[in-house]
Structure 1
């Protein structure tokens, strides 16, 4: 039950994000697909904690800025993101493509931890917190590429190799060979494997004992033409993080 309540609370804020306006109790219950009584109890709890406020019975409810204030404080004190963000921003500026930082979320998926969109009109867009299959993302391939051959085969055998696009790799042997090719090349790629007409280039950097991956993503044609140039800049960014991490980790240990 506690897991269900947690999910519904998070869903509540995402509903307000999508609606971008105040919602009545009836509208909120409908969007959450929840009984009116459960929704009423949830709204009551969030109001008591200062996360929602009422605009009147006919105008509904809307989130206060309490969650924003909390998350801004959390973000300002995240030493790992503080280390990554300037490097990601610099990589975005030098390539003019969207830059994504990701990490393995569970057996089958990676999660986007940070995203800096490129300035070009036609670009890859995404959102922090989005989860993507390991087999269809360059980030996933980069993280899998850190494993030795036996571990890689074992991990691939556990994956649910879902077909997201026509180009998605769903055969275990083909995925193994693609990752091995990427390891020889020094970086991993996807071409239309998670989204049609989007190419990703990714490389892994280990912080402490945890593998993170940085990816560049953009339209296939543009990325293909600049692949080698972009890959050099990407690998340089990973080396920058590797060189910086000892100072950050030492600070965490001292704290």
Structure 2
């Protein structure tokens, strides 16, 4: 009984968070049907969930248009949480700049206990959710984040992930760390996405307490020729947005060194 109740509670919590993440990915409002289709939920439970969030003050319901939109209370949830560069809005501005310059989908990622999470994106019309060990190990975002860890930390994580992996998905630690060393030396990761495109990703300097990485998805037709231009756009956006004040000379020097 306990296990079943825990499963139901986790499922409900996950759906609440995915509804809020849906709005963070671009749409400013949605009907019950639009939300149900986007998140692959039953329509009846979607309607009940959205109504509950209206009652709690996190969504507003337009009865005439039959749409729901987030209230300012949603923005207040994370106002004091996360990396300082995220709270100041620097990362959001950076992501929008790179998206406008390249026309590509840009994703901010973080990792927790070996699981990759997409926390913000630009240029994507639907939520992109990656919450399994596979993308952590094999995606550019995951590899960039892992490259910032020590070899000891990586080995410990691989040992845990390999214990739960299917036989064909087990990763050899020594070979994987060699791959990470290449990524560390050149400063960015480059790996195919699940749909055959290419993602370039690099870490956000000094994003604490939660390390972040930014990935840029290159269209299939341009993936072989554009990654140097995308890297230049990404590095330029880092320099513009990650120096907090003109007087922060030391901070600018550290960021410049990290980008060199």
TM score, norm. by length of structure 2:
0.63
Matching residue within 95, 102, 105 for 1:98 = 105
1:208 matches 2:219: no
Q: Is the 8 A contact 2:104 2:219 kept in 1?
A: no
Please report how far the alpha carbon of residue 228 of structure 1 lies from its aligned counterpart in structure 2 after TM superposition: 1.7
Cα distance in 2 for partners of 1:233, 1:158 equals 36
Q: The residue matched to 1:131 in structure 2 has which SS?
A: coil
CA contact (8 A) 2:58 2:71 kept: no
Q: Are the structure 2 counterparts of residues 241 and 162 from structure 1 closer, same or farther at C-alpha, using a change threshold of 3 Å?
A: farther
| 1:86 shift after superposition | 1.0
1:71: which partner in 2? Answer: 74
Check conservation: 2:90, 2:242, Cα contact below 8 A.
no
Distance 1:44 1:126 in 2: 22
Between the aligned partners of 2:149 and 2:60, the Cα distance in structure 1 is 49
1:175-208 alpha-carbon deviations (Å, 9 max, x no partner): 322222111111111124xx13111111112223
CA contact (8 A) 1:112 1:127 kept: no
- In the alignment, the residues of structure 2 paired with residue 169 and residue 241 of structure 1 have an alpha-carbon distance, to the nearest angstrom, of 39
Question: Please, what is the CA RMSD of the aligned residues?
Answer: 4.3
| Residue 90 of structure 1, CA deviation | 0.9
* Distance in 1 of aligned mates of 2:241 and 2:149: 20
Which residue in 1 is equivalent to 2:22?
none
Task: Report the Cα distance in structure 2 between the residues aligned to 1:169 and 1:96, rounded to whole angstroms.
Answer: 36
| 1:18 alignment partner in structure 2 | 36
The runs of 5 or more residues in structure 2 that have no matched partner are: 20-30, 249-260
**What residue ranges of structure 1 are gaps of 5+ in the alignment?**
33-38, 55-61, 118-123, 248-255
- Structure having greater relative contact order (Cα 8 Å, sep ≥ 6): 2
The question of 1:135 aligning with 2:137 is answered yes
Q: Give me the TM-score of the superposition, normalised by structure 1.
A: 0.64
Map of 1:213-252 to 2, 5 A cutoff?
A: 213-244=213-244
Alignment of 1:1-255 (within 5 A): 1=5, 4-5=8-9, 7-8=11-12, 10-11=14-15, 14=19, 16=32, 17-19=35-37, 28=44, 49=56, 65=69, 67-74=70-77, 80-81=86-87, 82-104=89-111, 106-117=112-123, 127=127, 130-131=130-131, 133-160=135-162, 170-192=171-193, 195-205=194-204, 206-244=206-244
Give me the whole-angstrom Cα distance separating, in 2, the residues matched to 1:154 and 1:227.
32
